[in-house]
């Protein structure tokens, strides 16, 4: 299959509509006030910007063009109060929540018990112990492995993917951290039994919260063309 992709840190209606024409599966909406990609931030400083349309965010993102499908909406949270997360899930009909802070297993259990699908993020460096993920296996639908840095996410730096050879869990994962144009060969050659999807963000931006759809399109076309040549039976 073509590589699955989540584009994170999006905020503006027409940018998301343009993205929906690409073979993208998930869109990430950041509900973390300290993020430069916070969905409720005032974006008027950009001349070509459209402030977030809350009504639009409440609707399913209908795909267009050659890839008719729905984009799954992922709400990204960092150490948010549980009740507030549940409110956002309800108000914006989020398909998943991505937990990018120090949320513990009990927090994940409460969300799962409430019927919420969970992507739990972990910040990875060479010293990271993947045994930490074991306790989360039952409660999370996916993991997301990102680069450990100063910020909870969006640091724009890749970690050593060979580290993932130490991950032997059963939960599929999103590969994140510093993905950018020019890394197509690295993605094509990356293999792991539990690799589920790419997670791209700052490497494809014109400015925080606004993605360069042409760059994303070119990136995915190169990867999917190479993968289709490797797997002609698709």
* Mean pLDDT of the region 132-160: 81
Is the pTM above the cut of 0.85?
yes
pLDDT digits (tens, 9 = 90+) for 75-122: 999 999 999 999 999 999 899 999 999 999 999 999 999 999 999 999
Q: How many helices (H) and strands (E) does the chain have?
A: 6, 11
**Residue 71: what are its φ and ψ, rounded to 5°?**
-80, 130
3-state secondary structure of 195: strand
> Minimal CA–CA distance to 223: which of 205, 206, 200, 201?
200
Domains along the chain with CATH numbers: 5-230 (3.20.20.70)
């Amino acid at each position: 299959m073509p590589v699955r992709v989540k584009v994170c840190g999006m905020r503006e209606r027409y940018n998301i509509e343009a993205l929906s024409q690409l073979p993208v599966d998930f869109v990430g909406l950041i509900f973390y006030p300290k993020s430069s990609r916070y969905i409720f931030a005032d974006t008027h400083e950009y001349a070509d910007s459209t402030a977030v349309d809350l009504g639009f965010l409440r609707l399913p993102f209908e795909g267009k063009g050659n890839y008719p499908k729905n984009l799954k909406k992922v709400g990204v949270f960092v150490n948010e109060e549980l009740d507030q997360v549940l409110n956002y899930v309800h108000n914006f009909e989020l398909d998943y929540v991505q937990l990018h802070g120090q949320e513990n297993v009990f927090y994940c259990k409460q969300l799962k018990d409430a019927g919420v699908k969970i992507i739990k993020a972990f910040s990875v460096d060479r010293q990271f112990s993947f045994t930490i993920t074991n306790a989360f296996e039952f409660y999370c639908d996916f993991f997301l492995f990102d680069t450990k840095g100063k910020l909870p996410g969006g640091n724009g730096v890749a970690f050593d993917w060979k580290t993932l050879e130490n991950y032997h869990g059963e939960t599929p994962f999103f590969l994140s951290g510093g993905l950018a144009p020019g890394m197509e060969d690295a993605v094509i050659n990356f293999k792991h039994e539990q690799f589920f999807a790419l997670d791209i963000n700052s490497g494809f931006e014109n400015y925080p919260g606004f993605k360069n759809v042409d760059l994303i399109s070119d990136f995915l076309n190169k990867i999917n063309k190479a993968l289709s040549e490797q797997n002609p039976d698709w």
